[in-house]
Amino acid sequence: MRDGGQNVDIKGAGQQVIDEMGLTEQILAKNTLEQGQKYLDRHGRVVAVFPKGSVGGLTADFEILRGDFAQVLFEATRDECEYRFDTFITGLDEKDDRITVTFKDGRVEDFDLVICAEGLNSSTRGMVLADQTRLLYFGAYMSFFNIPRRAEDDNWAHTVNGIGGTFITLRPGTTTETTVLMTFLRERSDVAADDPVARKALLLQALKGRGTVADRIIAALGSVEDFYFGPMSQVHASVWSKGRFVMIGDAAYSPTPFTGEGTALALVGAYVLAGEIKRNTDHAAAFHAYETLVRPYAEASQRKMNPRLIRLMHVKTSCGVGIAQVIQRVFASHIVQKLLRPSDATKEWRVEKDFNLPNYS
C-alpha cells in the first residue's frame, strides 16, 4: 500500500462525503492539529500570520497526512472490497457485455466496468484515452517528503519564499516528523521519473543559499527515503469515459496539489459515480450523468490555478521576495482579513454551492 505523502486537505463537499461514509470521527482523530500558516523571511523571522480559517491561508478544517487518510479509507472498505497490491493492468479488451483485464502477473479476468483512480500519472488512462488527455505543465516541480521533527517545531505551517523561484513550506506531521512541501520553477518538465540522483541534485540546487529553513532541509536530505517528486501539472481530459472504462480523481481532473482541492474532488467524483451507477441501469447513462454533474466543479477548481499565478508565487529576485513579503503582511492584516472574510450568510451559500451533493439513498 502506498501510504506515503504529506498533508492533504479535505474541503467543502469532500467533508460531506466523509460524513456520509460515517468517517468524520476517524479523520478528526488523525487531524495534524495545524493551527495556521506563518510566512517567514530567509532568517526564519515571522513576516505574516494566517491563523486557521483566514482568507488565503493554507490550513483547512480537515488536515490529515495522506497515508493516514488512505489507511482510514482502507480499513472502512477492506471487508467489502477485494484489494490486490503489487499489481497493475497491462491490457484491456472490451466486449459487448464485459471488459477483459490482463494484470501484470498474467492473470486475465472479466469485469463489468473498469474505474481508473490511478492519480496524475495513470498508465491505464494512456491505454484508453491517450488522445483525449493532456497534461498541462505549470512550469514548476513539486516535492513532498519528511524530515526529523525538532523540539522548536510547533503546530504551525511555516512558509518561505526563496530567491530563484523556490517556495518551501514545513508543516506539522507526526510526533517525530515534520513534513516538507517544496516547489521550484523549471522551464521544462524533463526530469526522468525514475532518476533519484537527478531529483536530489535538482532539490539541492533549488535549496542552496535560500536561508535557514532551506539549510535545515539540505542537512536532512541525505537520509530522506520516501519522497514524492514530479512536475506540477493539471490533467485535462476532453472525456472521462469510453465504453466500460471511466476515470475519477487526479487521473481525470487533477487540479495540482497547490489548490489543496484534489482530495475533495476525488471524493466527490467517487461519490457521484457510485450514485449514478446505482441509479442507472445502463453504464453509459451513468458515466454521462457523472461527468455532467462533476465536470463544472472540477473545472472551476482547475481555473483557480494557472502557470501565471505559479510564476507570481515563485518570485525570482530578492526584490521580488521583498514585494511578496509586503503583500503577505497586507493580506494578513486584520483590516484586510475583515474586508475579505465572507459573512455567515455567504459562508453557508459557499459550502452549499461549492457542490450540491445529490442524494442517492
Ligand X SMILES: Cc1cc2nc3c(=O)[nH]c(=O)nc-3n(C[C@H](O)[C@H](O)[C@H](O)COP(=O)(O)OP(=O)(O)OC[C@H]3O[C@@H](n4cnc5c(N)ncnc54)[C@H](O)[C@@H]3O)c2cc1C
Q: Across the strands, what pairs with 242?
A: 245
Among 10, 18, 213, 266, binds ligand X (CB under 6 A): 266
CA distance 4 to 177: 13
Residue 164 has a CB neighbour count (10 Å cut-off) of: 18
CA distance 164 to 212: 16
For residue 273, the minimal CB distance to ligand X (Å) is 12
In sequence order, which residues have a C-beta less than 8 Å from that of residue 121 and are 6 or more positions away?
193, 230
Window 48 to 67, contacts with ligand X (CB under 6 A): 66
Window contacting ligand X (CB under 6 A); options: 3-11, 107-115, 127-135, 305-313:
3-11
5 binds ligand X (CB under 6 A): yes
In sequence order, which residues have a C-beta less than 8 Å from that of residue 127 and are 6 or more positions away?
89, 91, 92
Which residue's beta carbon is nearest to the bound ligand X?
A: 249
8 binds ligand X (CB under 6 A): yes
CA distance 266 to 252: 9
CB of 139 or CB of 249, closer to ligand X:
249
Pair type for strands 99-103 and 133-148 = unpaired
For residue 101, the minimal CB distance to ligand X (Å) is 11
37 binds ligand X (CB under 6 A): no
Residue 333 region by backbone torsions, left for phi larger than 0, else alpha for psi between -120 and 50, else beta: beta
Among 68, 250, 276, 354, binds ligand X (CB under 6 A): 250
Window 153 to 182, contacts with ligand X (CB under 6 A): none
Among 228, 300, 313, 331, binds ligand X (CB under 6 A): 228
For residue 255, the minimal CB distance to ligand X (Å) is 8
Window contacting ligand X (CB under 6 A); options: 26-34, 192-200, 262-270, 282-290:
262-270
Q: Where are the beta strands (DSSP E) in the chain?
A: 7-10, 36-40, 46-51, 62-65, 89-94, 99-103, 108-111, 114-116, 133-148, 157-162, 166-172, 177-185, 228-237, 241-242, 245-247
Residue 352 has a CB neighbour count (10 Å cut-off) of: 13
What's the N-to-C CA distance of the chain in angstroms?
Answer: 31
For residue 23, the minimal CB distance to ligand X (Å) is 15
- Taking residues 298 to 337 in sequence order and writing x for each that binds ligand X by CB under 6 A, - otherwise, the string is ----------------------------------------
Pair type for strands 36-40 and 245-247 = unpaired
Among 144, 184, 290, 297, binds ligand X (CB under 6 A): 144
Radius of gyration of the chain, Cα coordinates, nearest whole angstrom:
21
Window contacting ligand X (CB under 6 A); options: 47-55, 112-120, 164-172, 183-191:
112-120
CB of 230 or CB of 307, closer to ligand X:
230
CA distance 1 to 82: 13
111 binds ligand X (CB under 6 A): no
88 binds ligand X (CB under 6 A): yes
Per rule CB under 6 A, count of chain residues that contact ligand X: 23
Among 2, 78, 134, 208, binds ligand X (CB under 6 A): 2
Number of helices followed by number of strands (H, E) in the chain: 13, 15
Among 16, 249, 272, 289, binds ligand X (CB under 6 A): 249
Among 124, 133, 178, 183, binds ligand X (CB under 6 A): 124
Window contacting ligand X (CB under 6 A); options: 31-39, 117-125, 273-281, 287-295:
117-125
293 binds ligand X (CB under 6 A): no
In sequence order, which residues have a C-beta less than 8 Å from that of residue 50 and are 6 or more positions away?
36, 37, 38, 39, 56, 57, 58, 59, 332
Among 57, 165, 257, 275, binds ligand X (CB under 6 A): 257
Binding site for ligand X (CB under 6 A): 2, 4-6, 8, 66, 88, 117-120, 122-124, 144, 228, 249-251, 257, 262-263, 266
